[in-house]
Amino acid sequence: MNGAPTPDDVRRALSGGALPVRRDVAAREQAAVAAVLRQGAGGLDLLFILRAEHPRDPWSGQMGWPGGRLDEADPSPLAAAVRETREELGLDLDRDAEFVGALPEVRTHLRRPGVPHWVAPFVFAVRSDPAFTLSHEIQEALWAPLAFLLDRGNRGRFLWTGGGVPLPMSCYRFEGRVIWGLTLRMIDDLLAALGSTK
């Protein structure tokens, strides 16, 4: 791809991909998230949230994309991503955005019962610059330029301590915030898809 990605580049990159469907496991073991793009001053921006600290949230206090667990009433993971984004940010993707496509479903490292084992990411492009109404689950929402994420020079590492053992993990550091883990894996899937449109 020459230059910064455009919305058409993203559409082409994700065209033809199959939509994830509900798995034959408990709804609480499935989650869905929304990767929301907007046209910024210097190209496309990607929306991130900082999750509030909560003992029952396996991604408590981390940067991520809006979304959450499927409810029994959700007809599909896509519907869950739309519902969760509305609940967390007050952003109605059905009304204010275009559905662009799906990224590959991601298996989580979590093996505990009652927490998500699978996350289905869906990509949307908002039609304007939306205002947000943050729920108690979200500390903040911010936009990061896609060009920043595409620049491999912005990748770094940090030490994450799990089970008392410090482990070096890949990450982005954006305006003092660390983007890593499951969200980083999904970002890499998006960037890999955009790379395939060269």
The pLDDT tens digits of the residues spanning 71-127 come to 999 999 999 999 999 999 999 999 999 999 999 999 887 666 566 778 999 999 998
The verdict on residue 146 lying in a domain is: yes
Number of domains in the chain: 1
Q: How high is the pLDDT of residue 19?
A: 83
Cβ atoms of 83 and 1 within 8 Å: the answer is no
The residues, any chain, with a CB within 8 Å of residue 118's CB and separated by 6 or more, are 23, 25, 29, 30, 31, 105, 106, 107, 108
Instruction: Give kind and range of the element (H or E) at residue 31.
Output: strand 30-40
1 pLDDT above the threshold of 60: no
- Residue 53: how many other CB atoms lie within 10 Å: 10
Q: What's at 154, amino acid-wise?
A: N
The verdict on residue 159 lying in a domain is: no
The verdict on residue 168 lying in a domain is: no
CATH number at residue 137: 3.90.79.10
The 10s digit of each residue's pLDDT in 27-79 is 778 999 999 999 998 899 999 999 987 666 656 678 999 999 999 999 999 99
The verdict on residue 132 lying in a domain is: yes
* Domain, as residue range, for 146: 7-151+182-195
The verdict on residue 173 lying in a domain is: no
Q: Are strands 30-40 and 118-126 parallel, antiparallel or unpaired?
A: parallel
The verdict on residue 163 lying in a domain is: no
160: which strand partners? 167
Q: What's at 194, amino acid-wise?
A: L
What angle, 0 to 180 degrees and rounded to 10, lies between the N-to-C axes of helices 7-14 and 181-195? 90
The verdict on residue 145 lying in a domain is: yes
Q: What's at 198, amino acid-wise?
A: K
Q: pTM for the whole thing?
A: 0.90
Give the phi and the psi of residue 3 in degrees, each rounded to 5.
80, -170
The verdict on residue 172 lying in a domain is: no
Cβ atoms of 84 and 32 within 8 Å: the answer is yes
Cβ atoms of 13 and 103 within 8 Å: the answer is no
Q: Is 3 helix (H, G, I), strand (E, B) or coil?
A: coil
Summary mean pLDDT of the chain: 89
